[in-house]
Amino acid sequence: MIYKILLGSVFALQISVLNAQEIETVTSVSRDNLTVTIYNQGIGLIKDERKVPLKKGRNSIAFSDISNQMIPESVFVSGNGIAVLEQNFNYDLLTHDNMMRKAIGSTVDIEWTNPATGEMKMQEAQILAFNDGEPVLKVGNKIETKYPGRILFNQIPKNLWSNPTLILDLESKQDSEEKIGISYLSQGINWKADYVAVLNDQNNKMDLNGLVTLTNDTKVSYEDATLQLVAGTVNVGVERFARKTANMMSMDSTVASSSMGTEQLGDYYLYTLDRPTDIMSNQTKQVSLLNSENVKVQKKYRFKGIINVAYTTEVKEKKPFVFLIFENKKEDGLGLPLPKGTVRVYKKDQNDRLVFVGEDNINHTAVQQEVRLMLGQAFDITAQAKRITYKQIGKDVYEVGFEVKFSNAMNTLTQVRFEQYFPDFWRMLSESRKSVKENSNTVYWDVEIPAQGETILTFTVQINKK
């Protein structure tokens, strides 16, 4: 049979046209089950099961509607009573340029309109070359470039496909309709978590909503799919997940409601959406991860690294960093493994309108772990420091003293944490209030500053460079 294919037309070609006697095409219409597992690293694991009619002996099966960014070496095929003899990923697609390149040397029909008479002409030509989107044609005894008409192909060039296709060469033990599953990794699909936190008036509780943002940059849509997300850094080479069936675990809805079940999967966490969803080609969509109310939080002010004891003589006004701190605990209103992502914090003004007050990124956070969000720097709290004593004891030993003045312009008493690093070997000689040793070289003081008032902290330390 001869086919006239017109360039510029819309192609709705079935692979069976190419070789109807040898290849059985199985499209997504035959799909029985689809699971899409997405990783943070821009890859997805697609588990696609379809009902396939098989005859006893050798079968060539074409799985169409698969990702154009499939990693061919990651394909895993499963099914009862079959043996996989060969598999080929065909991604040379049926496009204008590909048809032209594949047809070089062949004879086609060309159609053009005589500009003087308006009469349509048709004749044979040979495609000699195709470069920069332009064909070079041999028409009769002449060579034609910048051809003004259109080209009609007498047949589809070999090895071109209407969409990316996986060809499976299978051996079947019997005539039957079997469920054949293919699992493969694909690039071009990703997810990330985004959180919205709304603080109450007292800054001691917040409502926390989590959303999963999915991005599908492949050329295939995954409709009515079971969606799973893996949180954690996976070393690429995860075909083993194709062989694991996920068991969903329901979370305690009295703590934090979630539309996703979660389970531990080795060193990672697996989230499974509780309903099928569509992940369309070239689409970004958001899915609810969690909704939690009245999560306990603490607002903290911190000064860190404003004094270098070896060189600082005076520090002008410095403002503290504002931290929002909460623990991922059931008793505090959470208790879910939190995927890494961005937390955006809001607070309502006097007119009940939300105002953005800062954002920070969190890492993957297990249950019972603490989360610290750095929101910015406070406006009404300042610290000034100056060196008040310095004494050289020996070549490598000196004593130095500082005075730090904290000011609070707010109408409420405020507590700040002042952290100080000491180099080398050190010993505290005196301090106006007791410090807490955080590690071998860092101490901190929790300092209360009265409303619209000031507090002074002094300390003297001996430093030994040896």
CB-CB contact of 333 with 295 (8 Å): yes
Q: Residues with Cβ < 8 Å from 86, sequence gap 6 or more?
A: 168, 169
Q: How far is CA 209 from CA 43, 249, 291, 329, 346, in A?
A: 25, 20, 5, 16, 12
The pLDDT, as a whole number, for residue 92 is 54
The dihedral region occupied by 237, where left means phi > 0, alpha psi between -120 and 50, and beta the remainder, is: left
Express each pLDDT in 101-153 by its tens digit.
777 777 888 777 777 777 887 888 888 888 777 788 888 888 888 777 787 77
The pLDDT, as a whole number, for residue 191 is 92
Whether the per-residue pLDDT at 246 is higher than 50: the answer is no
Structure tokens at 109: 């029909």
The pLDDT, as a whole number, for residue 5 is 35
Q: Give the H/E segment covering residue 316.
A: strand 314-318
Predicted model pTM = 0.68
Residue 287's DSSP bridge partners are: 212
Specify the range with the lowest mean pLDDT, choosing from 95-104, 130-139, 356-365: 95-104
Specify the range with the lowest mean pLDDT, choosing from 24-33, 93-102, 268-277, 419-428: 93-102
- What percent of the chain lies above the pLDDT cut of 90? 44
Distance (Å, whole) CA 138 – CA 121: 16
CB-CB contact of 38 with 228 (8 Å): yes
Express each pLDDT in 429-446 by its tens digit.
999 999 999 999 999 999
Radius of gyration of the CA atoms of the chain, in A: 34
